[in-house]
Chains A and B, each alone.
Chain A
Amino acid sequence: MDAFIPASGSNRPVVTIKLASTSDELMQCFALRSAVYIGEQQCPYAEEFDGNDYTASHLILYVDGEPASCMRLRWFGTFVKFERAVILKRYRSMGLFVPFTQWAMEFARKKGYSRVYLHSQHRLWPIMERQGFRKVSEQIFNFSDHEYGAYYIDLAVDAKTAPTMHTDPLVLNRPEDRLDMPGILERSAERGATNPHAEWTERRAN
């Protein structure tokens, strides 16, 4: 579900966060990352678009409908890795990073993930620590011209609602950022099982 971060005054901008689920939204994520990493930080294209974009989930944040920020999530066996988080320059003083990270953590938690892992640029360490992230180790490593440390945080997964193999099968088919709302396939289930391909097999036998 699109998340509206509550605005305290009527003229505050409307902030919306969602899972990028169309090619347009994916394109917007790529444009934001190009603007910040390639445009501002001089990252080479091949390092920015590293081959993992089509194995990941992308989150996108809009300010008054304009793409402003995005983040990439990759799902590993025991943790989810948050990466490639950017905020467009003009939206940087709005305090979007912490609520966006919190939204992403809530998204991962509802999906049943109990641990988030990320590589944080050195200058962001205090922000990560204020949010409760802990260093994995003291190791500092470099890539794409920046200094990084690995951080993690544990999430309190709700055993009653977290998806398992015994969850209602159609709940697992729901859009992943709306696991608590009926999805389009549940409506399709009302049509019943007509097995439209069954007759085709018979026709082929003629």
Chain B
Amino acid sequence: MSAVTRSIDGEPVTTKLAMKMEDSMQAFAVRAACFIGELDVPYSEEFDGHDFGATHVIAYVGDEPVGAVRVRWFQSFAMPERLAVIQRFRGHNIGQLLLERCRQLAEARGCNMLYAQVLPPDIKYWEKQGWRRLVPEEMSNGAKHIVAMVRAVDPTKPLPAVEAPEAIVLRREQQLDASGRPLGTVSN
């Protein structure tokens, strides 16, 4: 892994968990800037109903909130998603810093697997940080718009071989108020 930036123009780069309303607000502002402002994602898709069942991590340069990621917790894995860094602060590995904070968080909770859904152009970015495809490329259907990737929380304990077909773990969760149990269990 490449060295992680600790300061930009003399301002320290830090991460913290959202603990207060204003912290969450900052995470939401960063995501709205990147996903709604830059990538034209509709509000209703970006704020999908999972934000109050998740943990939010925010990255700061000095006092300025510049990055955010959300972690959702499942019984057999933790799922970082909605990773965003404000455009003019990119290129300083702030995303890597956020994902490392997610890894530490998962470790502290006794979780041994990280799972993410990644867009094909971003696969290399995640691979550089120690992630691999849940299903080897040659076995997966090339038409997929998102790719499931996994990473061991503790790299000295490699993940066991995965049997879950990609189609199952990529399925969307049930409606939040439906009686169905949430899907997304990766069986190893």
Q: Secondary structure of the A side of the interface?
A: helix
Distance in angstroms between the alpha carbons of A30 and B64 in the assembled complex: 16
Distance in Å: Cβ of A76 to nearest Cβ of chain B: 26
Q: Does B123 contact A (CB under 8 A)?
A: no
Q: Are B32 and A45 in contact (CB under 8 A)?
A: no
Distance in angstroms between the alpha carbons of A44 and B47 in the assembled complex: 22
Distance in angstroms between the alpha carbons of A44 and B66 in the assembled complex: 9
User: Contact flags (1/0) for B67-107 with A, using CB distance below 8 Å?
Assistant: 00000000000000000001110000000000000000000
Q: Are B88 and A27 in contact (CB under 8 A)?
A: no
Distance in angstroms between the alpha carbons of A116 and B36 in the assembled complex: 30
Chain B residues with Cβ below 8 Å from A42 are 87-88
Q: Are B26 and A45 in contact (CB under 8 A)?
A: yes
Chain A residues with Cβ below 8 Å from B37 are 34-36, 38-40, 89
How many residues of chain A have a CB within 8 Å of chain B? 23
Q: Are A39 and B34 in contact (CB under 8 A)?
A: yes
Distance in angstroms between the alpha carbons of A45 and B62 in the assembled complex: 12
Q: Are A34 and B32 in contact (CB under 8 A)?
A: yes
Chain B residues with Cβ below 8 Å from A67 are 43
Say whether, besides A34-B29, A38-B33, A46 and B63 are in contact (CB < 8 Å). yes
Q: Are A45 and B29 in contact (CB under 8 A)?
A: yes
Specify the chain B residue showing the minimal Cβ separation from A44: B64
